[in-house]
Structure 1
Amino acid sequence: MTKLELGHRGEAWEPGCLRAVAGELLFTFLFVFIGVASTITAGKAAGGAGEAAAVTAAAMAQALVVAVLATAGFHVSGGHLNPASPPSSRAPPWRCLLLRCLTGGSATPVHALADGVGPVQGVAAEAVFTFTLLLVICATILDPRRAAQPGTGPLLTGLLVGANTVAGGALTGASMNPARSFGPALATGEWAHHWVYWVGPLAGGPLAVVAYELLFMDVEDAGGAHPAAAAGVK
């Protein structure tokens, strides 16, 4: 049966785990901080140019910060930056999750559903965006047969984040990341439909890993472990 490998209690105090927690804490803080700051700046800089320019600028910033920070943190903790990402073999999963979310929300932009977008539609949109994100991660980072050259996975992931932000920024904000939504919501006290940004990504992310394994991977592939194994899934 497929399941997530959560590790054991004593693992939390091992040096490797502590380094991974510190790495995820730092890189996720930077991701949320820069993401929020870029949204504020893009909104102000767009001025009369309108919402489209602001969304495009924010998307470019999100793409760049994901590509850079995921690359920087990959050898330390897996460079997840995202609770919806599959835990890799480089870092114990779900460690210090709320702590890293709490420390990234020092500014005001909060993910919210656009007018005319209901909660069910929001969950579906976030699930689809996160599904595509995790599918790219599986194909470019976790799959041992990946065609992409080593080191290009985070870049391609960042580009996909930017594309999804352009596609869904005006609908749900295209969070794809509970940590990105939780910090600003906590800082501002605005919790309207916040659950959407947990349910959607946490449904779409694992589904992408399972779908990739079932559709594109041969369990008996001699080339190495399939994405689920690399992600700590059995």
Structure 2
Amino acid sequence: MPFSEISVGSFKDATSKEAIRQGFAEFISALIFVFAGQGSGMAFRKLTKSETPRVEGVIAIALAHSLALVVAVAVSKNISGGHVNPAVTLGAFVGGHKNLSLIKLIIYWIGQFLGSVIACLLLKLATNEMAIRPFVLAENYTVGSAVVLEIVMTFGLVYTVYATAIDPQRQSNDTIAPIAIGFIVGANILAGGAFSGASMNPR
């Protein structure tokens, strides 16, 4: 998108009811997604009493993330577009999505980051202070390889969102979009979870 077409927005945009409503929708969606996704990994560790990644664990985590994202996108799609992921919001902004100014991008990011933080705090409270594990690289897996993997997976996610939900040249499908977006995240976790954790996300 040419720089001349970038909309910065104004203070009035940041304080409008629409912007606050959209930011709150992203907050709730991120909370739903992170709580279920991160919680699935914690539940698996609790049930198996194992800290070692296992095949069935990756499958369970991929399924939980996929299902949670379908719901997270569906409940906020008609309010904020159902981005959930800061990388998706950035992609929509760069792609020239209508009504997404720089100010709104920041509001979306604030909602998404706060939703993620609150989800993790709630998980610690609900699991009696069980540790929340960060993403780590697999043994003997290089940072360079992880960067390539994450770029490819994030591109797949952002492209899927853009093609099914926010492309101004196409009519958005409220049924297919959440399912397709959930599926690509689940598939990416199955493909990359054992290597980089399949973050696809700057959070």
TM-score interval for Structure 1 and Structure 2 normalised by the shorter chain: 0.7 to 0.9
- Give distance in 1, aligned partners of 2:160 and 2:63: 18
**Could you say which residue in structure 2 is the equivalent of 1:102?**
117
How is 1:118-129 mapped onto 2 (pairs within 5 angstroms)?
118-129=142-153
Note the alpha carbon deviations across 1:49-101, whole angstroms, 9 max, x for none.
x7110000110110101111101111121111110012454662121254334
SS class of match (1:94):
helix
**Could you say which residue in structure 2 is the equivalent of 1:165?**
189
- Give distance in 2, aligned partners of 1:144 and 1:77: 15
Q: Which of 105, 111, 120 is equivalent to 1:93?
A: 105
Note the alpha carbon deviations across 1:73-130, whole angstroms, 9 max, x for none.
1112111111001245466212125433432323412111111122222221111110
CA RMSD of aligned residues (A): 2.5
Q: Which of 2, 10, 13 is equivalent to 1:11?
A: 13
How is 1:202-221 mapped onto 2 (pairs within 5 angstroms)?
none
Q: Is this contact kept in 2: 1:75–1:90, CA < 8 A?
A: no
Paired residue type of 1:128: V
Percent identical = 30
Q: Which of 60, 67, 88 is equivalent to 1:57?
A: 60
- Give distance in 2, aligned partners of 1:70 and 1:142: 12
Unpaired runs of 5+ residues, structure 2, are 125-131
Between Structure 1 and Structure 2, how many residues are aligned? 179
Deviates more, 1:2-11 or 1:159-168: 2-11
Q: Is this contact kept in 1: 2:157–2:181, CA < 8 A?
A: yes
- Report the alpha carbon displacement of residue 139 of structure 1 after superposing the two structures with TM: 1.6
TM-score by length of 2: 0.77
**Could you say which residue in structure 1 is the equivalent of 2:75?**
72
**Could you say which residue in structure 2 is the equivalent of 1:40?**
42
- Give distance in 1, aligned partners of 2:193 and 2:83: 21
Q: Is this contact kept in 2: 1:83–1:94, CA < 8 A?
A: no
Q: Residues 12 and 128 from structure 1, CA distance in 2 versus in 1: closer, same or farther, beyond 3 angstroms?
A: same
**Could you say which residue in structure 2 is the equivalent of 1:152?**
176
- Give distance in 2, aligned partners of 1:81 and 1:148: 17
Q: Is this contact kept in 1: 2:165–2:173, CA < 8 A?
A: no
